[in-house]
Amino acid sequence: MNIPEIEAFFDNDSHTISYVVSDPETRHAAIIDSVLGFDYASGALSYQLADDILAYIAEQDFIIDWLIETHVHADHLSAAPYLQQKIGGKIAISKHIVEVQKIFGKVFNAGTAFERDGRQFDRLLEDQDSYEVGSLQGRAIHTPGHTPACMAHIIGDAIFVGDTLFMPDGGTARADFPGGDARTLYQSIHKILAQPDEMRIFVCHDYMPGGRDLGYMTTVGAQRADNIHIGGGISEDDFVKMRETRDATLSMPKLILPSIQVNMRGGNMPPAEDNEEIYLKVPISGIRGK
């Protein structure tokens, strides 16, 4: 099995880890879950983390094949279009993005100008679809539950799980967003835990519980044994009870409203209005349970 080289980039504001996954033989690479900084109070964008990724890619002389989104993120804006403009690559996401677009197109009253067929992305991936990163083989696994469009990506000996799993001491994703479901999440997690024990898992977020140092890489075996929500053979019913009880206590991510409006468009902003300014909407009724 070819072993990819993996470089992680941490965004402190959203606790997101972005990855550059490269093939050492060909210098081809993919970027997974990139972050565009956004200050809600001022509406200002920051390209610092994306520029750090660009600097690393230039230093390594990589050729970018893919800009992969594991799902429609609710806690940060995607930098994929900005990166694509600079270095190319195809933006890819699950074909179930259309379900997310239908839900949130209605929530944000996006109108008929907002196409709800996934055309904002270059490739819509189906379960078990394959793709190449140089000589590395990538494979997408549909892992809904957190959102309908969640996917894990196996590249070589590594699996990038998005928000579905955190580090073992962090547990699992919430399942109370529109289109989410705790029982479905349990089943999706077990698709990941069915992989070989030694397969490396790379998570999308780390909140450093207990004040420990940042962690982003674990293994299937460690998750199966030690994950505080799913490890040790917890039953589906017990997991669902735990997850639904816990989710009822959680507040919404602070950037959920701007993030979804942008990310459901492939990382692009809504169209400018007649004064040539771009606006993001705040539905006063909120979105939980929509």
The pLDDT score that the predictor gives to residue 226 is: 97
Among candidate residues 71, 65, 56, 55, the one with its CA nearest the CA of residue 16:
71
How many Cα atoms are found within 13 Å in the side-chain-facing hemisphere of 83?
37
103: Cβ contacts below 8 Å, ≥ 6 apart: 178, 179, 290
DSSP 3-state assignment of 150?
A: coil
Helices (H) and strands (E) in the chain, counts: 7, 14
How many Cα atoms are found within 13 Å in the side-chain-facing hemisphere of 170?
24
The pLDDT score that the predictor gives to residue 290 is: 52
The answer to whether the CB of 56 falls within 8 A of the CB of 20 is yes
CA distance 63 to 278: 32
And the tokens for 111?
A: 């109108």
Q: Does the domain made of 5-263 have the CATH classification 3.60.15.10?
A: yes
CA distance 174 to 243: 7
The answer to whether the CB of 17 falls within 8 A of the CB of 206 is yes
Q: What is the mean pLDDT of each run of 10 residues along the chain (290 residues)?
A: 92 97 97 97 95 98 98 97 98 97 89 88 98 97 98 98 98 96 98 97 97 98 98 96 97 94 95 92 72
The domain locations on the chain are: 5-263
- How many other C-beta atoms can be found within 10 angstroms of the C-beta atom of residue 112? 7
What DSSP designation does 232 have? G
pTM (2 d.p.): 0.95
The pLDDT score that the predictor gives to residue 65 is: 98
